C-alpha cells in the first residue's frame, strides 16, 4: 500500500517545489522519478506513485506521470492526472 502523504513529506523541498511548479499533468523526468523512488524507500520503490501514459515500448520513450491520487494530494481535487 502506498503512503502518498508520507512520500510527499519525504521529498526534499526543492523536489516538491519542482513537482508543484510543473503542474498535475507533467511528464516526470528522470530526476523526479529518482526523487520519488528515494522518498518512497529506494530504487524502484516509487512505482506506486507514478504511471506510464501512452506506449510501453520502446522503454526510453515512456512518459511517466503522477498517479491521480498523488496529483490530487499535491494540487487539490479535480486536478489530478487521468
Question: For the chain, how many structural domains are there in total?
Answer: 1
Q: Is residue 82 part of a domain?
A: no
Query: What confidence tens digit (pLDDT) does each residue in 58-74 have?
Result: 988 899 999 999 999 99
pLDDT for the residue 79: 57
Q: Residue 2: its pLDDT value, please?
A: 86
49: cell is 506513485
The verdict on residue 10 lying in a domain is yes
For the question of whether the overall pTM of this predicted structure is more than 0.85, the answer is yes
Q: Which residue from 44, 48, 39 is spatially nearest to 67, judged by alpha carbons?
A: 48
What residues have CB less than 8 Å from 65, skipping those under 6 apart?
Answer: 25, 26, 27, 28, 50, 51, 52, 53, 71, 81
Domain of residue 29 covers 4-75
Give dist(CA 33, CA 76) in Å, integer.
21
What's residue 1's pLDDT? 74
Amino acid at each position: 500500500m502506498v503512503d502518498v502523504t508520507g512520500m510527499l513529506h519525504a521529498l526534499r523541498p526543492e523536489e516538491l517545489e519542482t513537482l508543484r511548479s510543473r503542474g498535475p499533468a507533467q511528464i516526470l523526468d528522470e530526476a523526479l522519478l529518482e526523487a520519488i523512488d528515494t522518498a518512497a524507500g529506494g530504487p524502484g520503490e516509487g512505482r506506486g506513485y507514478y504511471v506510464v501514459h501512452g506506449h510501453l515500448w520502446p522503454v526510453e520513450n515512456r512518459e511517466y506521470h503522477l498517479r491521480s491520487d498523488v496529483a490530487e494530494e499535491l494540487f487539490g481535487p479535480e486536478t489530478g492526472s487521468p
